[in-house]
Amino acid sequence: MTAQILDGAAIAKAIRAEVAEEVQALAQTHIRPGLAAVLTGSNPSSQIYVNSKVKTCHQLGIYSEKHELPDEATTEELLELIFWLNGRDEIDGILVQLPLPKQIDTTRVLESVDPAKDVDGFHPFNVGKLVQNRPTSIPCTPAGIMEMLDRYEIPIEGRRAVVMGRSDIVGKPMALLLMHRHATVTICHSRTKDLPAVAREADILVCAIGRTAMVTADYVKPGAVVIDVGINKLADRVEIERIFSQDEQRLEEFEKKGYTLVGDVNPTSVREVAGYLTPVPGGVGPLTIALLMKNTVEAAKRRRSVVL
Protein backbone atom coordinates (compact mmCIF):
# COMPACT_ATOMS: atom_id res chain seq x y z
CA MET A 1 0.00 0.00 0.00
CA THR A 2 1.17 3.52 -0.82
CA ALA A 3 -0.67 6.42 0.76
CA GLN A 4 -2.83 8.72 -1.34
CA ILE A 5 -1.39 12.23 -1.17
CA LEU A 6 -3.77 14.92 0.11
CA ASP A 7 -3.11 17.96 -2.08
CA GLY A 8 -3.44 20.97 0.20
CA ALA A 9 -2.37 23.37 -2.55
CA ALA A 10 -5.30 22.28 -4.75
CA ILE A 11 -7.78 22.61 -1.87
CA ALA A 12 -6.39 26.05 -1.00
CA LYS A 13 -6.79 27.16 -4.62
CA ALA A 14 -10.45 26.09 -4.58
CA ILE A 15 -11.08 27.94 -1.29
CA ARG A 16 -9.42 31.11 -2.61
CA ALA A 17 -11.65 30.98 -5.70
CA GLU A 18 -14.74 30.66 -3.49
CA VAL A 19 -13.57 33.57 -1.33
CA ALA A 20 -13.02 35.73 -4.43
CA GLU A 21 -16.61 35.00 -5.51
CA GLU A 22 -17.91 36.03 -2.09
CA VAL A 23 -15.86 39.24 -2.20
CA GLN A 24 -17.43 40.06 -5.57
CA ALA A 25 -20.91 39.33 -4.20
CA LEU A 26 -20.26 41.60 -1.21
CA ALA A 27 -19.11 44.34 -3.56
CA GLN A 28 -22.63 44.40 -4.99
CA THR A 29 -23.78 45.50 -1.52
CA HIS A 30 -20.95 48.09 -1.32
CA ILE A 31 -19.01 46.05 1.25
CA ARG A 32 -15.30 45.29 0.88
CA PRO A 33 -13.76 43.07 3.56
CA GLY A 34 -10.63 44.55 5.11
CA LEU A 35 -7.66 42.93 6.85
CA ALA A 36 -4.94 44.72 8.85
CA ALA A 37 -1.70 42.80 9.35
CA VAL A 38 0.50 43.88 12.25
CA LEU A 39 4.18 42.96 12.05
CA THR A 40 6.46 43.71 14.99
CA GLY A 41 10.21 43.28 14.60
CA SER A 42 12.44 41.99 11.82
CA ASN A 43 11.88 38.22 12.00
CA PRO A 44 12.54 37.13 8.36
CA SER A 45 9.95 34.32 8.43
CA SER A 46 7.30 36.64 9.85
CA GLN A 47 8.02 39.19 7.12
CA ILE A 48 7.57 36.53 4.45
CA TYR A 49 4.32 35.28 6.00
CA VAL A 50 2.82 38.77 6.32
CA ASN A 51 3.81 39.77 2.79
CA SER A 52 2.23 36.58 1.47
CA LYS A 53 -1.01 37.29 3.35
CA VAL A 54 -1.17 40.88 2.08
CA LYS A 55 -0.47 39.70 -1.49
CA THR A 56 -3.25 37.12 -1.28
CA CYS A 57 -5.68 39.82 -0.08
CA HIS A 58 -4.91 41.88 -3.18
CA GLN A 59 -5.40 38.86 -5.43
CA LEU A 60 -8.84 38.15 -3.98
CA GLY A 61 -10.08 41.74 -3.82
CA ILE A 62 -9.84 42.07 -0.03
CA TYR A 63 -8.67 45.46 1.25
CA SER A 64 -5.46 45.09 3.25
CA GLU A 65 -3.00 47.14 5.26
CA LYS A 66 0.39 46.26 6.73
CA HIS A 67 1.48 48.00 9.93
CA GLU A 68 5.11 47.54 10.97
CA LEU A 69 6.64 48.28 14.35
CA PRO A 70 10.37 48.06 15.17
CA ASP A 71 12.12 45.34 17.17
CA GLU A 72 12.24 47.59 20.25
CA ALA A 73 8.49 48.35 20.22
CA THR A 74 6.72 48.19 23.58
CA THR A 75 3.55 46.42 24.60
CA GLU A 76 1.88 49.81 25.05
CA GLU A 77 2.76 50.92 21.50
CA LEU A 78 1.30 47.74 20.06
CA LEU A 79 -1.84 48.05 22.21
CA GLU A 80 -2.30 51.62 20.98
CA LEU A 81 -2.13 50.48 17.34
CA ILE A 82 -4.62 47.67 17.92
CA PHE A 83 -7.01 50.03 19.76
CA TRP A 84 -6.95 52.30 16.71
CA LEU A 85 -7.58 49.38 14.32
CA ASN A 86 -10.42 48.12 16.54
CA GLY A 87 -12.19 51.44 15.99
CA ARG A 88 -11.91 51.54 12.20
CA ASP A 89 -15.04 50.27 10.48
CA GLU A 90 -13.30 49.42 7.19
CA ILE A 91 -11.10 46.89 9.03
CA ASP A 92 -12.91 43.57 9.58
CA GLY A 93 -9.92 41.48 10.61
CA ILE A 94 -6.79 42.16 12.63
CA LEU A 95 -3.87 39.77 12.27
CA VAL A 96 -1.08 40.05 14.84
CA GLN A 97 1.83 38.07 13.40
CA LEU A 98 3.47 35.78 15.94
CA PRO A 99 5.95 35.37 17.52
CA LEU A 100 6.26 38.82 19.05
CA PRO A 101 9.57 40.18 20.44
CA LYS A 102 10.37 38.95 23.96
CA GLN A 103 9.68 42.27 25.71
CA ILE A 104 6.06 42.31 24.50
CA ASP A 105 3.24 40.73 26.55
CA THR A 106 1.70 38.47 23.90
CA THR A 107 -1.32 37.56 26.03
CA ARG A 108 -2.27 41.21 26.60
CA VAL A 109 -1.85 41.98 22.92
CA LEU A 110 -4.00 39.10 21.68
CA GLU A 111 -6.68 39.85 24.27
CA SER A 112 -6.78 43.50 23.12
CA VAL A 113 -8.05 42.59 19.64
CA ASP A 114 -11.80 43.11 19.22
CA PRO A 115 -13.22 39.54 19.24
CA ALA A 116 -15.34 40.45 16.18
CA LYS A 117 -12.09 41.22 14.30
CA ASP A 118 -10.06 38.30 15.67
CA VAL A 119 -9.68 36.38 12.39
CA ASP A 120 -7.01 34.10 13.90
CA GLY A 121 -9.48 32.81 16.52
CA PHE A 122 -7.01 33.36 19.40
CA HIS A 123 -9.09 35.64 21.65
CA PRO A 124 -10.44 33.88 24.79
CA PHE A 125 -13.98 34.95 23.82
CA ASN A 126 -13.70 33.11 20.49
CA VAL A 127 -11.94 30.14 22.09
CA GLY A 128 -14.94 29.86 24.42
CA LYS A 129 -17.32 29.93 21.47
CA LEU A 130 -15.31 27.19 19.79
CA VAL A 131 -15.54 25.06 22.94
CA GLN A 132 -19.33 25.51 22.86
CA ASN A 133 -19.45 24.80 19.10
CA ARG A 134 -20.94 28.21 18.32
CA PRO A 135 -20.21 30.20 15.14
CA THR A 136 -16.90 32.05 15.47
CA SER A 137 -13.50 32.54 13.83
CA ILE A 138 -11.60 29.26 14.09
CA PRO A 139 -7.78 29.08 14.09
CA CYS A 140 -6.77 28.84 10.46
CA THR A 141 -4.64 25.69 10.42
CA PRO A 142 -7.17 23.39 12.17
CA ALA A 143 -9.98 24.91 10.08
CA GLY A 144 -7.97 24.17 6.94
CA ILE A 145 -7.44 20.56 7.99
CA MET A 146 -11.20 20.12 8.46
CA GLU A 147 -11.78 21.57 4.98
CA MET A 148 -9.28 19.08 3.56
CA LEU A 149 -10.93 16.10 5.27
CA ASP A 150 -14.35 17.18 4.04
CA ARG A 151 -13.32 17.87 0.47
CA TYR A 152 -11.63 14.49 0.20
CA GLU A 153 -14.81 13.00 1.74
CA ILE A 154 -12.89 11.37 4.56
CA PRO A 155 -15.32 10.21 7.28
CA ILE A 156 -14.93 11.75 10.72
CA GLU A 157 -17.99 10.66 12.70
CA GLY A 158 -17.29 7.60 14.83
CA ARG A 159 -13.59 7.49 13.94
CA ARG A 160 -10.73 7.38 16.41
CA ALA A 161 -8.63 10.55 16.15
CA VAL A 162 -5.28 11.21 17.82
CA VAL A 163 -3.84 14.73 17.93
CA MET A 164 -0.13 14.86 18.71
CA GLY A 165 0.49 18.30 20.19
CA ARG A 166 -1.48 20.50 22.58
CA SER A 167 -0.77 24.05 21.41
CA ASP A 168 -3.43 26.75 21.55
CA ILE A 169 -2.93 27.40 17.84
CA VAL A 170 -3.25 23.86 16.47
CA GLY A 171 -3.55 20.96 18.92
CA LYS A 172 -6.37 22.09 21.21
CA PRO A 173 -8.65 23.62 18.54
CA MET A 174 -8.01 20.64 16.27
CA ALA A 175 -9.17 18.25 18.98
CA LEU A 176 -12.31 20.33 19.59
CA LEU A 177 -13.21 20.47 15.88
CA LEU A 178 -12.86 16.70 15.54
CA MET A 179 -14.87 16.13 18.73
CA HIS A 180 -17.65 18.42 17.48
CA ARG A 181 -17.82 16.20 14.39
CA HIS A 182 -18.31 13.14 16.61
CA ALA A 183 -14.83 11.65 16.47
CA THR A 184 -13.42 10.03 19.61
CA VAL A 185 -10.36 12.17 20.30
CA THR A 186 -7.13 11.60 22.22
CA ILE A 187 -4.60 14.42 22.72
CA CYS A 188 -0.95 13.36 23.05
CA HIS A 189 2.16 15.31 23.96
CA SER A 190 5.82 14.88 24.85
CA ARG A 191 4.97 13.22 28.19
CA THR A 192 2.49 10.69 26.83
CA LYS A 193 3.61 7.18 27.75
CA ASP A 194 4.18 4.81 24.83
CA LEU A 195 3.30 7.45 22.26
CA PRO A 196 3.62 5.12 19.23
CA ALA A 197 1.05 2.71 20.72
CA VAL A 198 -1.44 5.52 21.34
CA ALA A 199 -0.88 6.95 17.85
CA ARG A 200 -1.48 3.52 16.28
CA GLU A 201 -5.07 3.61 17.58
CA ALA A 202 -5.88 6.50 15.26
CA ASP A 203 -7.97 6.36 12.12
CA ILE A 204 -7.06 10.05 11.79
CA LEU A 205 -3.61 11.05 13.10
CA VAL A 206 -2.77 14.77 13.30
CA CYS A 207 0.94 15.38 13.90
CA ALA A 208 1.72 18.82 15.35
CA ILE A 209 4.34 18.04 17.96
CA GLY A 210 7.26 20.00 16.46
CA ARG A 211 9.85 17.25 16.07
CA THR A 212 11.40 16.72 12.67
CA ALA A 213 10.41 13.40 11.00
CA MET A 214 9.63 11.87 14.40
CA VAL A 215 6.53 9.97 13.26
CA THR A 216 7.52 6.76 11.51
CA ALA A 217 5.58 3.71 10.34
CA ASP A 218 5.40 2.26 13.85
CA TYR A 219 3.19 5.22 14.88
CA VAL A 220 0.64 4.56 12.15
CA LYS A 221 -2.32 2.20 11.93
CA PRO A 222 -2.49 0.62 8.45
CA GLY A 223 -4.78 2.71 6.25
CA ALA A 224 -4.90 5.69 8.64
CA VAL A 225 -5.23 9.31 7.53
CA VAL A 226 -2.00 11.11 8.54
CA ILE A 227 -2.03 14.90 8.66
CA ASP A 228 1.43 16.44 9.00
CA VAL A 229 1.25 19.97 10.44
CA GLY A 230 4.99 20.32 11.10
CA ILE A 231 7.33 22.36 8.94
CA ASN A 232 11.01 22.14 9.77
CA LYS A 233 14.03 23.33 7.81
CA LEU A 234 16.46 20.41 7.57
CA ALA A 235 20.03 21.01 6.45
CA ASP A 236 21.78 17.92 7.86
CA ARG A 237 22.99 15.89 4.87
CA VAL A 238 23.13 12.62 6.80
CA GLU A 239 19.55 13.02 8.04
CA ILE A 240 18.29 14.05 4.60
CA GLU A 241 19.95 11.05 2.95
CA ARG A 242 18.52 8.76 5.65
CA ILE A 243 14.95 10.06 5.27
CA PHE A 244 14.94 10.57 1.50
CA SER A 245 17.34 7.89 0.32
CA GLN A 246 15.01 6.88 -2.54
CA ASP A 247 13.71 10.37 -3.35
CA GLU A 248 15.96 11.81 -6.06
CA GLN A 249 13.91 15.01 -6.33
CA ARG A 250 14.44 15.81 -2.64
CA LEU A 251 18.13 15.03 -2.82
CA GLU A 252 18.48 17.30 -5.86
CA GLU A 253 16.60 20.06 -4.03
CA PHE A 254 19.01 19.76 -1.11
CA GLU A 255 22.02 20.00 -3.44
CA LYS A 256 20.63 23.22 -4.93
CA LYS A 257 19.34 24.94 -1.78
CA GLY A 258 21.39 23.41 1.01
CA TYR A 259 18.21 22.43 2.87
CA THR A 260 14.79 20.88 2.44
CA LEU A 261 11.50 21.22 4.32
CA VAL A 262 10.37 18.26 6.42
CA GLY A 263 7.34 17.91 8.66
CA ASP A 264 6.84 15.95 11.87
CA VAL A 265 6.29 12.82 9.76
CA ASN A 266 8.94 10.72 8.05
CA PRO A 267 7.22 10.52 4.64
CA THR A 268 9.33 7.68 3.25
CA SER A 269 8.45 5.44 6.18
CA VAL A 270 4.81 6.45 6.71
CA ARG A 271 3.60 6.44 3.11
CA GLU A 272 4.01 2.66 2.97
CA VAL A 273 1.51 2.21 5.83
CA ALA A 274 -0.92 5.15 5.76
CA GLY A 275 -4.01 5.34 3.58
CA TYR A 276 -3.73 9.12 3.17
CA LEU A 277 -0.83 11.50 3.84
CA THR A 278 -0.31 15.24 3.56
CA PRO A 279 3.01 16.24 1.99
CA VAL A 280 5.43 18.86 3.30
CA PRO A 281 5.52 21.29 1.63
CA GLY A 282 2.19 21.50 -0.20
CA GLY A 283 -0.09 19.91 2.40
CA VAL A 284 -1.43 21.83 5.37
CA GLY A 285 0.66 24.98 4.79
CA PRO A 286 -1.23 26.46 1.81
CA LEU A 287 -4.54 26.01 3.62
CA THR A 288 -3.65 28.36 6.47
CA ILE A 289 -3.60 31.55 4.38
CA ALA A 290 -6.69 30.45 2.42
CA LEU A 291 -8.63 30.04 5.68
CA LEU A 292 -7.40 33.44 6.92
CA MET A 293 -8.99 34.96 3.83
CA LYS A 294 -12.19 33.01 4.43
CA ASN A 295 -12.26 34.08 8.10
CA THR A 296 -11.85 37.72 7.07
CA VAL A 297 -14.83 37.56 4.70
CA GLU A 298 -16.92 35.76 7.33
CA ALA A 299 -16.00 38.43 9.90
CA ALA A 300 -17.11 41.15 7.47
CA LYS A 301 -20.44 39.39 6.96
CA ARG A 302 -21.01 38.85 10.70
CA ARG A 303 -20.14 42.45 11.60
CA ARG A 304 -22.66 43.72 9.07
CA SER A 305 -25.27 40.96 9.49
CA VAL A 306 -24.99 40.06 5.81
CA VAL A 307 -26.21 36.70 4.49
CA LEU A 308 -25.22 35.75 0.94
Catalytic positions are: 53, 97, 120
Residue 109's CB is within 10 A of a number of other CB atoms, namely 20
Between CA 104 and CA 265 the distance in angstroms is 33
Between CA 4 and CA 276 the distance in angstroms is 5
- pLDDT cut 70: percent of the chain above it: 100
pLDDT at 278: 98
Among 171-175, 213-217, 232-236, which stretch is predicted with the lowest mean pLDDT? Answer: 232-236
pLDDT at 190: 87
| Residue pLDDT, tens place only, 237-292 | 888 888 888 788 888 888 899 888 999 999 999 999 999 999 999 999 999 999 99
Mean pLDDT in residue range 227-236:
92
Residue 141: its H or E element:
helix 140-151
Residue intervals in the chain for CATH 3.40.50.10860: 30-116
Report pTM. 0.94
Q: Judge: domain 140-287, CATH 3.40.50.720.
A: yes
Class of domain 30-116: alpha beta
- 167 half-sphere exposure, CB direction, 13 A CA radius: 15
291 Cβ neighbours under 8 A, 6+ residues apart: 15, 138, 140, 141, 143, 144, 147
Residue intervals in the chain for CATH 3.40.50.720: 140-287
